[in-house]
Amino acid sequence: MPEGVRINGKVLAELRTLAGMDQVDLANAACVHTAGCKLTETKISAYEREESRPTTTNLNAMVRGLKHAWREQGLAFGEPEQRALIRTPTLDAATSNGSTCEEDKADRRTAGKVLAVGSLTAVLAPSAALERIVTHGDRPVDAELIADHEDLADLLAARHFTVRPDASVGLVAHHADMLLALLDRPIGAGADRKRLEALAAGSCAQAAVAAFCLGDRTAAGHCFTLAREVAEGSGDDRLCAQVLGTLAVQHSPIEAGGGDSDKAVNVMRQAVHHARRADRSTRAYAHHWLALELAASGDEHGFFQSMQIAEHLVQRGQSEGHGFLPLYLDQTPEQVSGTRGIGLVRVGRATEAIDALQIMLSSARTTRGSVIALTDIAAALVLQNEPEEACATLRHALQLILKAVYPVGIERIRGVRARFRDPWDALSCVIEFDEWLRLTIASLKRQQYRIVLPEP
């Protein structure tokens, strides 16, 4: 075989397919974006079969072509894709600097903290507030420092709805780590420990939700446990309700491939109990998600009963406090009415579900919310015996999953795929969808998320 860069031909074919390109398209794109490039369909075919190796020039030309094509699809072609494309014999055994996997994990934790501290300057102003947060040392925690952390928590909470989870989880987890450390320090006169506890629990919960979205159940469970410990230790019923309302997701059959309906319902009943004297937003959220978990467990009467209470209570802007939990739980009446469709699908009311889910889709605050709405619309279409429309809707959801970096969304899609009728397996739309699902999973597996956990 002639000299050249050793690449993974299968990965090249997958990256090309995800970009919506055939071999001719890739050759043309490479030549358009690289002066003097003479790539052809024949050469690319040989690279994908690993019958020949591209020169560095041709490899760079293909990468440029793929980057532009991915961008047009709304996707990000970055370092993980390039790393997967080039074969590295020691990739599974060691990192590029020769360290073992366990050593690399330790290095990542240290490096992640350093990067997180540096990143604070990008999201928090003024610099005096940042200096107080980073350099407070062992001084007693005062009201001014807590206010600075509230400002930071508000900014990080807002990023939950605008930034991909892989780009924010490390920073959020580091902030949670800082807040947990403050709880072990003396609290100065005039400072409110309750405010600090609410921030710490909320930051742990935000890190947990981000880790869960990335498919890291271990990290999510760790952070949820910390959030619950802080909330229960505070003796604050409202904070307990908010934390319980978020951590039920790790048991939910709605979110977690399979899940445990009994556990999810039990957690949400606890949330409703703690929320009975809380603000309207917290009470509405608790009843809302209890309703959906009841629907998933097959309790249609309980679903409608709890949903009615939630829709009566919900009123945007009534949430109180700082950080992730108040913002995450604060929903519009349209959002609550839209997510009613999640429950309607699970009690078999397909037509009503699609109407509600279309509202949810139009009011989604994040791309992840759009994925949830599309996936459940597809589930309703399955109930209506519409395989082609279901496959088209799921394929749209797959494209958004790559854009948002939302691996756990794959579990929702697999759940819908499992409901396909056996005779559908021979349909061309289903065969094509299964291939897109395989390619999307392969692409997500190439992503490497560096999640830095708060200390227990």
Dist CA 70 CA 77 (whole Å): 6
- Look up tokens 């958004």; give the residue: 400
Q: Which two tokens stand for residue 303?
A: 């679903």
Q: What are the tens digits of pLDDT across the range 233-282?
A: 999 999 999 999 999 988 888 876 667 889 999 999 999 999 998 888 89
DSSP string, 53-109: ---HHHHHHHHHHHHHHHHHTT----HHHHHHHB--TTTTTB-TTS-BHHHHHHHHH
pTM of the shown model? 0.69
Region 44-61: what's the mean pLDDT?
88
* Residue 94 phi, psi dihedral angles, 5° rounding: -155, 165
Q: How confident is the model at residue 80 (pLDDT cuts 50, 70, 90)?
A: low
- Look up tokens 């992640």; give the residue: 112
Chain centre distance of CA 308:
29
- Look up tokens 């001719």; give the residue: 24
Dist CA 34 CA 154 (whole Å): 44
pLDDT over 60 at 298, yes or no: yes
Of 101, 118, 136, 11, give the one whose Cα is nearest residue 63: 11
3 state SS of 26: helix
Q: What are the tens digits of pLDDT across the range 97-122?
A: 333 343 333 333 333 333 344 445 44
Kindly report the CATH number that applies to the domain delimited by 9-85.
Answer: 1.10.260
Dist CA 81 CA 83 (whole Å): 5
Please state, rounded to an integer, the average pLDDT across all residues of the chain: 81
In the chain, pLDDT over 90 holds for what percent of residues?
A: 33
Half-sphere exposure of residue 271, counting CA atoms within 13 Å on the CB side? 31
Q: Kind and range of the H or E element at 155?
A: helix 143-159
Dist CA 298 CA 269 (whole Å): 16
pLDDT over 90 at 302, yes or no: yes
3 state SS of 446: coil
Residues 6+ apart with CB under 8 A from 425: 431
Cβ distance 454 to 171 under 8 Å? no
Q: What are the tens digits of pLDDT across the range 284-295?
A: 999 999 999 999
| Domain boundaries along the sequence of the chain | 9-85, 100-234, 236-331, 348-449
Cβ distance 376 to 345 under 8 Å? yes
